[in-house]
Structure 1
Amino acid sequence: MTPVNADTAFELGRTLPALTLDARLVRIAAIAHRAVMTTSLGVEDQVLTAAIAGAARGIHLATLDTGRLFPETEALLAETRVRYGLDIVAYRPRAEDVEDFTARYGVDGFYGSREARHACCHARKLVPLARALKGADVWVTGLRRDQSGARASTPFAEWDGERGLLKVNPLADWSGEDVRAYVAAHDVPVNPLHARGYPSIGCEPCTRAVKPGESERAGRWWWERDDTRECGLHVAAKVPAYASS
């Protein structure tokens, strides 16, 4: 098997748009030594999980259990494991990292400053993500271009030079309607919070329902006045990305 690199990103960006979702995942699995899909149990990730269960079970699944998730998210994880018979491995923050954050900022100190919020995301998400992606050469995500303005240029594939792996977004060109149609057609289990106005769901203290006219991710870290806010998981690639549409 040839090494996965930036040239692979270009090739995937060129070929994936013409394929069905199942075919996209089969293609991704075929080029990877180890592919890992990280799921937040959001509706896009549930679509990918269902498709992986049916067409590409060689793709490993992982989730980041931050310790501050909604009970509905935790229940959905258990239901999804049973429904699809998949081993979705949960990666949790290290106790010492959480303790260090709490000692410096307080339990809910992330409300106090951007620095504190990023420190919390680092401890509860970025450090566990590094463990989840250890040994992987392909990282599969549920990013879509129409989730927010910050994600409007999401490519199908990009070389993540910082992590030394290929990041692939098989749903990059899907609309919210495409996602909902797939859920209905395949009876995919979804978080009940979606029906209560939460299109994007993260940690419970950091997520609110969106208001009419707001973007899907407006309810994340809503107290920060920045439409491009992210937790740091999806940093910009270090080499040019290949969008293809």
Structure 2
Amino acid sequence: MTAFDLNTAQTELQGKNPRTILKAALANFDNIAISFSGAEDVVLIDMAINIRKDIQVFSLDTGRLHPETYRFIEKVRKHYGIAIDILSPDREQLDAFVKEKGLFSFYEDGHQQCCAIRKVEPLRRKLAGLDAWITGQRKDQSLDTRGDIPEVQLDAGFSGPGKQLVKFNPLLNWSSAQVWDYIEAYRVPYNDLHQHGYISIGCEPCTRPVLPNQHERAGRWWWEDSAKKECGLHGGNIDK
């Protein structure tokens, strides 16, 4: 494996299809993992497992997911015969937060602190042991925060002193329709909530079905400014 040149990779992968980006990611990095939570991520698992059987997959268990989401994670594990590393929040941080603010403080003071404890901290722990990760981000999920990110990037939010973390976004240029065309064509497992009006699915208290013609992210943190709908996993999208 030759040294990875980010600038060259950004030029070579710009506008390329998801399989080409995935192949490049898996060819350049052995210590790499797919972040799994939604429909896009299972499409990536389906593609990646045909390129490399030993791909690492991890998922965040915030403790506030829908029952359907937990069943979905198990469905994916069994369907592909893979191990999924389930990441949980730090118990002491979570206990102190809930004791101080209760279970629904995000409706009053925003979701950032809750997400930081339930999502960002366990993700940071996981990414500290990786050289690169693969996400299901798409540009059209949020033009405010994801409209101009590249297919491959330095993850400034999770890189540290002496260690750079690379992030690949293979589905960046796909639409939701393309994702679902793939799911139907290849019989990819999906969350049962999608059959009940849910498109973008997060924690149960912070996710609701969307109305016809509403944007898919309208059902996430609906009480907040639409330009801030990132939980911190891709927080650099707001700061860019």
What is the TM-score when the length of structure 1 is the normalising length?
0.88
Matches within 5 A, 1:170-209: 170-209=170-209
Choose from 67, 79, 86 the match for 2:82. Answer: 86
**Runs of 4+ in structure 1 over 6 Å off:** 237-240
| Structure 1 counterpart SS, 2:218 | coil
For residue 76 of structure 1, what is the amino acid of its counterpart?
F
**How far apart are 1:20 and its partner, in Å?**
4.3
Q: Deviations over 1:92-125 (max 9, x none)?
A: 01211111111221111111112xx211101100
Alignment pair present for 1:125 and 2:122? no
**How far apart are 1:170 and its partner, in Å?**
0.4
Choose from 5, 10, 14 the match for 1:13. Answer: 10
| Structure 1 counterpart SS, 2:133 | strand
| Structure 2 counterpart SS, 1:218 | helix
2:220 is matched with: 220
For residue 204 of structure 2, what is the amino acid of its counterpart?
E
Query: Cα 1:204–1:89, aligned 2, differ >3 Å: closer, same or farther?
Result: same
**How far apart are 1:236 and its partner, in Å?**
1.9
Does structure 2 retain, via aligned residues, the 8 Å contact 1:160–1:238? Answer: no
Choose from 105, 110, 115 the match for 2:106. Answer: 110
What is the TM-score when the length of structure 2 is the normalising length?
0.90
Partners of 2:203 and 2:131 in 1: how far apart? Answer: 27
**How far apart are 1:212 and its partner, in Å?**
2.5
Query: What percentage of residue pairs aligned between the two structures are identical?
Result: 40
Can you give the 5+ residue segments of structure 1 that lack an aligned partner in the other structure? 241-245
1:160 is matched with: 155
Partners of 1:61 and 1:90 in 2: how far apart? Answer: 9
**How far apart are 1:166 and its partner, in Å?**
0.6
1:243 is matched with: none
For residue 161 of structure 1, what is the amino acid of its counterpart?
A
Query: Cα 1:50–1:110, aligned 2, differ >3 Å: closer, same or farther?
Result: same
Query: Cα 1:158–1:18, aligned 2, differ >3 Å: closer, same or farther?
Result: closer
RMSD of equivalent CA atoms: 2.0
- What is the count of residue pairs matched by the alignment? 234
| Structure 2 counterpart SS, 1:177 | helix
